[in-house]
Amino acid sequence: MATLRDAREPELNSGILPGNVRADDWIMLVLAAGSVGLLGFMVLSPPARDVGLVIFYVDCGICSIFLLEFLWRWRKRRWAKKFLVRNWYELFAMIPVAHPAMLAHKFVSVVLLLVRIGRAADRALGEQFTYRLVDKLSEPIVKAIKKPITIAVLDEVVKVLETGNYPENLAKSLGANKDELRTIIAEKIAADPQLGKLKRLPFHDEIVRTVVDTSFRVLLEVLVDPRIDDFFSAVVRDNREQIRQAVQLGLNEVDDDEKEQSLPVRTQHSAALEYDRLHPKSRL
């Protein structure tokens, strides 16, 4: 993304407030304020459909004027890509969204309303005002919203995970592939240098098959037991709460042994670090 160091070219629109006023500055400022007012009126106080269509047609006319003016300014910059990088948000402000059908999409309308407010600010304070403001505030804004967004996304992911039933699905998968798994286990036992010697025993194949079938049967009965559902639910729930608390403490970004003491158990990251410290050769 371009930085302010790249934005040293003289402004084509210096705004109204600095005092370098031309007639077209006033016209574009009035149109920018009008576009904000029209969309704001549609969002805050939706009118009847007939009135809404009239507002939409007026909004289309204003957006067309801004599109032509945008192309004119871009031409003055000799179609430089830097101009688009710096003024990309104006393209969204040219979308005519003041239509009754958009009332069902409040979020989109509000976002585009904010973009239009930024364009109006450019008309009042200079064409690079919003760019400078966003460049100055983007990092603090990202830091401010990153943590709550992470927690919100985490909660949604956990809700999705909780819609599954992992023990029963695992039991179904094991039951459906029992023959293949029995064959694999028998092959591994035969290939094992120690257990492979059991082939010399009488009834070796029957013993292996009986042991495998018994193990499968017990495992399947354990997986379909309702108490296992409670166990898996508790695992997911406890991990969700610990991850949420760790994110709130910022442990997903920096290591802090003191803060980690407040967690129910240590994090997996800390466990991995301790293992690497105690077993340095295992990393080679």
The pLDDT tens digits for 156-192 are 887 787 777 888 888 888 888 888 888 888 778 777 7
Q: Are 39 and 70 members of one domain?
A: yes
The residue whose two tokens read 């023959």 is 179
133 plus 251 within the same structural domain: no
Pairwise CA distance, residues 105 & 198, whole Å: 70
- 42 and 117 housed in the same domain: yes
Say which DSSP state 265 is in.
Answer: S
Intervals of the chain under pLDDT 70:
1-23, 126-128, 130-131, 134-135, 137, 195-199, 204, 281-284
Query: Which residue, chain included where needed, has tokens 């442990």?
Result: 251
Neighbours of 231 (CB within 10 A): 11
Provide the 3-class DSSP secondary structure of residue 167. helix
Number of other CB atoms surrounding residue 145 within 10 Å: 11
Same domain, 74 and 195: no
95 and 8 in a common domain: yes
Q: What is the pLDDT of residue 177?
A: 85
Q: Residues 206, 131: one domain?
A: no
One-letter identity of residue 245 = Q
The residue type at 88: W
Q: What are the tokens at 132?
A: 């400078």
Which tokens sit at 223?
């997986």
Same domain, 32 and 63: yes
Do 125 and 210 sit in the same domain of this protein?
no
113 occurs within a structural domain? yes
Q: Are 18 and 134 within one domain?
A: yes
Does a structural domain hold residue 252? Answer: yes
Q: Is 256 left (phi over 0), alpha (psi -120 to 50) or beta?
A: beta
Rounded Cα gap, residues 281 and 269, in angstroms: 19
Q: How many domains does the chain have?
A: 2
Residue where one domain finishes, among candidates 138, 171, 198: 138
In a domain, 259, yes or no: yes
Q: Is residue 232 part of a domain?
A: yes
pLDDT for 7: 43
User: Is 147 part of a structural domain of the chain?
Assistant: no
In a domain, 145, yes or no: no
Rounded to whole angstroms, what are the CA distances from 234 to 80, 231, 239? 58, 5, 8
Question: What is the DSSP-derived secondary structure letter of residue 75?
Answer: H
Q: Is the dihedral of CA 53, 54, 55, 59 positive or negative?
A: positive
Residue 1 pLDDT:
41
Quote the distance between the C-alpha of residue 224 and its chain's center: 35
Residue 11 confidence (pLDDT): 52
Residue carrying structure tokens 């997911």 = 236
Judgement on whether residues 191 and 231 belong to the same structural domain of the protein: yes
93 and 171 co-located in one domain: no
pLDDT of residue 264: 80
Is the CB of residue 93 less than 8 Å from the CB of residue 112? Answer: yes
The CA distance from 3 to 14, in Å, is: 19
Residues 6+ apart with CB under 8 A from 88: none
Q: What is the pLDDT of residue 6?
A: 44
Mean pLDDT taken over the chain: 78
Q: Residue 8's pLDDT is what?
A: 47
Q: Choose the final residue of a domain: 75, 104, 138.
A: 138
Going from the C-alpha of 88 to that of each of 20, 31, 124, 172, the distances in angstroms are 24, 19, 18, 53
Q: 213 lies in a domain?
A: yes
* Residues 276 and 215 reside in one and the same domain: yes
Tell me the HSE value of 109 on the side-chain side, using a 13 A CA sphere: 21
Look at residue 155 and tell me if it is in a domain: no
- What does the block give as tokens for 185? 């286990």
Find the domain containing 69 and state its range: 4-138
